[in-house]
Amino acid sequence: MKGLKISKKNLLIIAIVVALFIILGSLIPGFLSIKNLLNIVRQSSIIAIVACGMTMVIIIKGIDLSVTGVLSFCAMVNGLLLLKGWPIPLAMLAGLAVGTLMGLFNGLMVEKLGIPAFITTLVVGNVGGGLALLLNAGKSIGGFPAPYVFMGNGTILGVPVSNYIMILFVVVTSILMSKTRLGVYIYAMGGNETVVKQQGISTATINFFVYGFSGFCIAMAGILLSGQLDTVHPTQGEPYQLDAIAACVIGGVSMLGGEGKVYFALIGALIIGVQRNALNLLGIHPFYQNIFVGIIIIVIVALNIHQKRRTIEHSKIF
């Protein structure tokens, strides 16, 4: 019964994607060229990587609103260190560490003080945004070492390096979620926190891991983005907040917690990427894209909640 429902939902997503491609392919010359498609995937990789962490956070009924600030800040830390002549891996490690720490801090606030996730992540995001501006007095930086830029823009076997990194993230996250204890606990916590506590599973571990991992993903996305653009601008993370949430929501990650698959969040990210790319090619201004994404999020969440309420209503018996 359930298997059928899931596949129905999946089929729907796939059908939408196929229809989207057919329509866009016939509308826009060059849209379906391999080059453009790979380019879309490359652009989507940032969203997809952020969505990996975001999926987990939403599964435990949280949300991460720190994307904008943390993404820019980590990229800035990493970028400045690179320009100072630090070795690439070390600079990246520093950026990733900063992101992870900020995520862990979110986990701490949620777990220990019971502060709503949307507030603590909003605050941490703003601190990050402020620090990103502060670090280089609000100015952009650029001109990174060639191997670093290669990570963002180069190709291996004709496929952008970014895409490999994205696939690595998606696969690792997916394995983590479906094949490890921690993954089961994350789902369990989204489904029924009481049971999790009763079984003696530490919710602190889950909160720390999930928010920390989300911070890590955001940092990675920031670093990759700076490689793609060969620039770090202190407010560069701006669009990715909404896009990452949209990717999750489109991919069927439920805001009510407990449900969602990383693979589908990836599809969600690609849909967002396609949407942005196509509207760009069609000459439609990004402003419309924001409106579109905003509406999509609200509508899908509303439908999700409505459906849930109906099932609860129907399950009432005497």
Name which position in 19, 32, 118, 143 contacts another protein (CB under 8 A): 118
Reading the block at residue 304, the tokens are 């999700």
- Binding to another protein by residue 250, rule CB under 8 A? no
- Binding to another protein by residue 48, rule CB under 8 A? no
* Residue 148 or 187 with smaller CB distance to another protein: 187
Alpha carbons 194 and 205: distance in angstroms, whole number: 15
In the complex, least distance from residue 30 CB atom to another protein, rounded to whole angstroms: 26
Name which position in 50, 255, 270, 272 contacts another protein (CB under 8 A): 255
| Half-sphere CA count of 270, side-chain side, radius 13 A | 22
Measured CA distances, 247 to 7, 109, 175, 219, 265 (Å): 19, 26, 19, 18, 5
Residue span binding another protein (CB under 8 A) among the ranges 17-25, 80-88, 159-167, 178-186: 178-186
Name which position in 29, 30, 137, 157 contacts another protein (CB under 8 A): 137
- Binding to another protein by residue 195, rule CB under 8 A? yes
- Binding to another protein by residue 291, rule CB under 8 A? yes
- Binding to another protein by residue 129, rule CB under 8 A? yes
Closest alpha carbon to 56 in 187, 181, 179? 187
Burial class (CB in 10 A: 0-12, 13-18, 19+), 194: exposed
- Binding to another protein by residue 70, rule CB under 8 A? no
> What backbone phi and psi angles, to 5 degrees, belong to 231?
-150, 145
Closest alpha carbon to 220 in 285, 291, 131, 151? 151
* Residue 140 or 155 with smaller CB distance to another protein: 140
State which amino acid sits at residue 103: G
Reading the block at residue 159, the tokens are 């496929």
Contact residues toward another protein (CB under 8 A) are 1-2, 63, 65, 68, 109, 113-116, 118-120, 122-124, 126-127, 129-131, 133-134, 137-138, 175, 179-181, 184-185, 187-188, 190-192, 194-196, 198-201, 242, 245, 255, 258-259, 285, 287-291, 293-295, 297-298, 301-302, 305-306, 309, 313, 316-318
